[in-house]
């Protein structure tokens, strides 16, 4: 049996001999053993966190062999340094020339072989290095070259069977509470009872309670209690939407659904009921939302519905510290969690018994990562559902054109909710056509009157202006000079309160000047308006009203957004001004007037999806008015005849789709075709342009059934000091694009030094 391979073993032993200067004869005698020893070495396939598409083999040293498992992080030598890698596979084989793994960084695997398959698919599809793909997928603190995260523990109390019951009042209260709730942690008891320590210690001593150390959850989301959430009787439409999803959950098969429900139609109740089915089937639910911080109400409903029944919910959000994220991840991997709610990156959560994936507000662009590993969590959800064999439920009031198109093609089951669940009729929006550019007056007379009437009735107003800051730019009215970012060459936004001109792309800032640097004139004026200016104008118009602003500038501090939402709920705010942030996730019953002041900036964006974005934003914000009936929506615009605005004002998705799709068809743009965007950037513009030309030519030679557009300057031709240029690859089918992408690694040789290439498959943002 060994003879066939003996030759190579001999050869190996000889080379070993030469290297090790061991006597020849000794080698011959031992060649059999040497061979056996070589073959029995444990080899690990490792993806290192470097920008490389290939993986590497390492020898697992004997002392680590028993502990090493697929899904762990390791520290390995790489070139002349050390780096972190991920263990993908273990097998036995020859170890010649292989370097050793230095250290295992985890005690338990962080992901399963099944999840690894999903990571691999994603890395391959998006043309991203495997190790860096896994790094992005894992929670923050785990991906880098960090040491282990501390695992915190705390005491958990449980009632022991006893004949008596405790005497003291406090002891009795604690005992009853723990008896009613099962295992209760010390931190939970601390929330409910003042200084419970002594009484607990006494109860343990007397044998009423047992106490054990358990891993502590650091998640701040769970420090507050939520009210129980009552099950609602589904209306007819909800019932027809619920049934097919529920039966797909029960049969544990992949099936995609599009839940198209107008704002207020009760999509959340459908999610809750289908997730309930998932738990009934002994499986786990994954719920993705665009941004956790903006959807506290949804999280509260899930907690209020399922926690009283003893179900365990993990909320993954950007506010978690590394330690908290690590805790949550490990709890999920151990099957200690029934429902995971999270933003984009939760699509990689290590659930082992997936029963359903819900994507709420599936049209939201935040599901697409905008840098590095540019994945779309919405698209990956369909792949993960397919691999895990579970249904996927996409929900939205304004589905992305792509999802609706797939539903039309029969690739997704279509579940419509056409009516509000309990509120009044959907308000009709009125379009107010502006004829001339107002210099400072951003609010038209009609809107001012409507605000007045609303405030008189003690009702609330929401005003959307999708631009933060005081003014989009400062202008010298004598010579026309404006102020631009030295790194990005776009105009700087004036922030009055902060007293700065700021670049919204790179955050460069400078103080405004009193005198024009060009003509030395003194007349420097802010042009146009942002939310800060609008807030100020409103304060002048309605000195009595309580006005607040919600945008990125006012919500950077932790909890600031939540406070604004609460004040709106408690009606401590009369007028809320904000960017698109105000259109998302909240349900303010007191709002009866919604005004949209800057619809045109979204509409005129240099992107083929601008009409879709404008339609979606306006439909969503208009749906916020009059949740309890009698709402009014006013949209102030320079293009009142545009179909996107017209359809949004009537909340008519179908009409918008029917008018938008022919444009996409004609141009072969998504959903009627597929795109890959290649962006080249570098400090020297000649090198960038030269590389782009060569790369485009190289791709042109290999392309089949792919149209190559460009190279051309990016809409943001300069960003953070770098010149940027793009090549757009377009094809009716995905396969030819993928073939061309595979050739890209080779074509990258065309790049000159100092020029980097960014690959964006299915791009959303093409600036």
- Supply the DSSP string of 11-35, one letter for each residue: HHHHHHHHHHT--HHHHHHHHHHHH
- Which span sits near ligand ADP by CB under 6 A: 265-273, 441-449, 456-464, 499-507? 265-273
268 binds ligand ADP (CB under 6 A): yes
Minimum separation from the CB atom of position 509 to Zn ion (A): 9
Residue 587 interacting with ligand ADP (CB under 6 A): yes
Q: Do the Cβ atoms of 642 and 603 come closer than 8 Å?
A: yes
Which 3-state string (H, E, C) describes 512-572? CCCCCCCCCCCCEEEECCCHHHHHHHHHHHCCCCCEEEECCCCCCCCCHHHHHHHHHHCCC
Q: Which of 34, 186, 204, 234 binds ligand ADP (CB under 6 A)?
A: 234
Residue 505 touching Zn ion (CB under 5 A): yes
Compute how many other C-beta atoms are within 10 angstroms of the C-beta atom of residue 117: 12
Smaller CB distance to Zn ion: residue 49 or 493?
Answer: 493
Which one of the spans 22-30, 226-234, 601-609, 752-760 is the region binding ligand ADP (CB under 6 A)? Answer: 226-234
Per CB under 5 A, the segment of 62-70, 342-350, 502-510, 512-520 that binds Zn ion is: 502-510
Q: Which residues contact 428 (CB under 8 A, 6 or more apart)?
A: 633, 649, 650, 651
**What's the order of all strands across the beta sheet hosting 256-261?**
313-316, 339-342, 284-288, 354-359, 392-396, 256-261, 413-417
Partner whose binding site includes residue 16, from ligand ADP, Zn ion, none (CB under 5 to 8 Å by kind): none
For Zn ion, the closer CB: 224 or 510: 510
605: contact with Zn ion by CB under 5 A: no
Is 506 one of the binding residues for Zn ion (CB under 5 A)? yes
Instruction: Report the residue from 32, 121, 508, 605 that binds Zn ion according to the rule CB under 5 A.
Output: 508
Query: From the list Zn ion, ligand ADP, none, which binds 451 (C-beta under 5 to 8 Å, kind-based)?
Result: none
Q: Residue 237 Cβ, how far from Zn ion at the closest point, in Å? A: 48
Q: Which residues of 68-100 are buried (b: 16+ CB within 10 A; e: fewer)?
A: bebbbbbebebeeeebbbbbbeeeeebbeebee
Which residue's entry shows tokens 């698109």? 580
Spacing of C-alpha 393 from chain mean position: 17
Q: From 259-267, 520-528, 564-572, 640-648, give the range in contact with ligand ADP by CB under 6 A.
A: 259-267
Q: Report the residue from 147, 150, 169, 233 that binds ligand ADP according to the rule CB under 6 A.
A: 233
Find which of ligand ADP, Zn ion, none residue 503 binds, CB within 5 to 8 Å per kind. Answer: Zn ion
| Residue 506 contact, options Zn ion, ligand ADP, none, Cβ 5-8 Å cut-off depending on partner type | Zn ion
Q: Which does 488 bind (CB under 5 to 8 A by kind): Zn ion, ligand ADP, none?
A: Zn ion
Residue nearest to ligand ADP (CB): 266
SS3 at position 633: strand
Distance from first CA to last CA of the chain, Å, rounded?
63
CA 265 → CA 268, 424, 681, distances in Å?
9, 11, 46
Q: Residues touching ligand ADP: how many (CB under 6 A)?
A: 16
DSSP code string of 137-199: HS-HHHHSS--PPPPPEEEEEEEPP-SS---SHHHHHHHHHHHHHSSEEHHHHHHHSSS-HHH
What are the phi and psi torsion angles at 501 (to 5°)?
A: -100, 130
Write down the least CB distance from residue 618 to ligand ADP, Å: 16
Among 426, 503, 547, 714, binds Zn ion (CB under 5 A): 503
When asked if residue 232 is in the footprint of ligand ADP (CB under 6 A), the reply is: yes
Q: Going by C-beta distance under 8 Å and a sequence separation of 6 or more, which residues neighbour residue 472? A: 491, 493, 494, 527, 528, 529, 530
Q: Smallest distance from the beta carbon of 508 to Zn ion, in angstroms?
A: 5
Residues 384-423 that bind ligand ADP (CB under 6 A): 421-422
Question: Of 744, 752, 734, nearest to 678 (Cα)?
Answer: 744
Q: Which of 13, 263, 554, 579 binds ligand ADP (CB under 6 A)?
A: 263
Is residue 485 near Zn ion by the rule CB under 5 A?
yes
Residue 267, contacted partner among ligand ADP, Zn ion, none, CB below 5-8 A by kind: ligand ADP
Q: Which residue ranges make up the site for ligand ADP (CB under 6 A)?
A: 232-235, 238, 261, 263-269, 421-422, 587
Q: Which residue ranges make up the site for Zn ion (CB under 5 A)?
A: 485, 487-488, 503, 505-506, 508
């Amino acid at each position: 049996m060994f003879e066939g391979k003996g030759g190579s073993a001999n050869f190996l032993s000889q080379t070993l001999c030469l290297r090790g200067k061991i006597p020849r004869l000794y080698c011959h005698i031992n060649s059999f053993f040497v061979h056996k020893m070589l073959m029995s070495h444990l080899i690990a396939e490792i993806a290192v966190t470097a920008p490389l598409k290939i993986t590497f083999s390492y020898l697992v040293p004997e002392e680590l062999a028993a502990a090493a498992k697929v899904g762990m992080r390791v520290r390995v030598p790489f070139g002349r340094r050390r780096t972190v890698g991920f263990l993908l596979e273990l097998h036995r084989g020859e170890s010649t020339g292989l370097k050793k793994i230095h250290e295992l960084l985890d005690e338990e695997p962080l992901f399963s072989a099944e999840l690894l398959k999903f990571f691999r698919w994603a890395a391959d599809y998006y043309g991203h290095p495997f190790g860096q793909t896994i790094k992005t997928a894992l929670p923050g603190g785990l991906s880098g070259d960090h040491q282990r995260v501390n695992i915190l523990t705390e005491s958990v109390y449980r009632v022991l069977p006893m004949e008596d019951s405790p005497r003291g009042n406090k002891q009795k209260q604690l005992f009853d509470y723990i008896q009613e709730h099962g295992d209760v942690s010390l931190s939970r008891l601390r929330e409910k009872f003042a200084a419970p320590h002594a009484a607990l210690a006494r109860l343990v001593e007397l044998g009423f309670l047992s106490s054990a150390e358990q891993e502590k959850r650091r998640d701040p989301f769970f420090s507050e209690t939520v009210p129980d959430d009552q099950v609602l009787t589904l209306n007819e439409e909800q019932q027809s939407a619920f049934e097919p999803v529920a039966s797909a959950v029960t049969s544990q098969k992949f099936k995609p659904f599009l839940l198209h429900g107008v704002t207020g139609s009760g999509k959340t109740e459908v999610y809750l009921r289908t997730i309930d089915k998932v738990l009934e089937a002994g499986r786990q639910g994954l719920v993705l939302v665009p941004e956790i911080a903006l959807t506290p109400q949804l999280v509260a409903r899930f907690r209020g519905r399922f926690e009283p029944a003893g179900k365990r919910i993990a909320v993954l959000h950007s506010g978690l510290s590394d330690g908290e994220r690590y805790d949550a991840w490990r709890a999920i991997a151990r099957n200690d969690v029934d429902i995971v709610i999270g933003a984009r990156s939760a699509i990689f959560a290590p659930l082992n018994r997936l029963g359903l994936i819900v994507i709420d507000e599936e049209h939201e662009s935040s599901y697409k990562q905008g840098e590095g590993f540019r994945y779309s969590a919405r698209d990956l959800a369909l792949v993960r559902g397919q691999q895990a064999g579970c249904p996927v439920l996409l929900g939205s009031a304004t589905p992305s054109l792509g999802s609706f198109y797939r539903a039309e093609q029969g690739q997704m089951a279509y579940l419509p909710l056409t009516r509000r669940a309990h509120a009044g009729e959907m308000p009709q929006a009125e379009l107010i056509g502006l004829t001339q550019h107002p210099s400072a007056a951003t609010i038209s007379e009609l809107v001012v009157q409507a605000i007045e009437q609303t405030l008189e009735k003690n009702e609330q107003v929401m005003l959307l202006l999708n631009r933060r800051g005081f003014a989009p730019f400062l202008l010298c009215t004598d010579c026309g000079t404006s102020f631009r970012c030295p790194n990005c060459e776009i105009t700087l936004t004036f922030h009055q309160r902060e007293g700065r001109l700021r670049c919204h792309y790179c955050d460069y800032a400078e103080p405004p000047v009193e005198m024009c640097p060009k003509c030395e004139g003194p007349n420097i004026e802010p042009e146009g308006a942002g939310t800060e200016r609008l807030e100020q104008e409103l304060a002048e118009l309605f000195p009595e009203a309580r006005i607040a602003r919600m945008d990125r500038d006012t919500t950077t501090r932790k909890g600031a957004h939540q406070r604004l939402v609460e004040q709106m709920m408690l009606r401590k705010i009369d007028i809320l001004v904000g960017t698109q942030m105000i259109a998302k996730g909240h349900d303010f019953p007191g709002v009866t007037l919604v005004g949209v002041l800057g619809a045109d900036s979204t509409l005129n964006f240099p992107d083929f999806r601008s009409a879709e974005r404008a339609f979606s934003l306006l439909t969503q914000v208009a749906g916020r008015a009059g949740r309890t009936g009698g709402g009014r929506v006013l949209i102030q615009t320079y293009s009142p005849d545009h179909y996107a605005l017209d359809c949004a004002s009537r909340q008519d998705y179908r009409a918008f789709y029917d008018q938008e799709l022919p444009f996409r068809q004609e141009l072969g743009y998504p959903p009627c075709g597929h795109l890959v965007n290649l962006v080249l950037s570098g400090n020297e513009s000649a090198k960038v342009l030269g590389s782009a030309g060569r790369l485009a030519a190289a791709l042109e030679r290999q392309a089949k059934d792919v149209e190559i557009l460009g190279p051309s300057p990016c809409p943001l031709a300069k960003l953070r000091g770098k010149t940027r240029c793009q090549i757009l690859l377009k094809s009716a089918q995905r396969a030819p694009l993928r073939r061309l992408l595979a050739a890209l690694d080779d074509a990258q040789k065309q790049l000159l030094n100092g020029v980097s290439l960014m690959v964006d498959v299915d791009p959303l943002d093409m600036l």
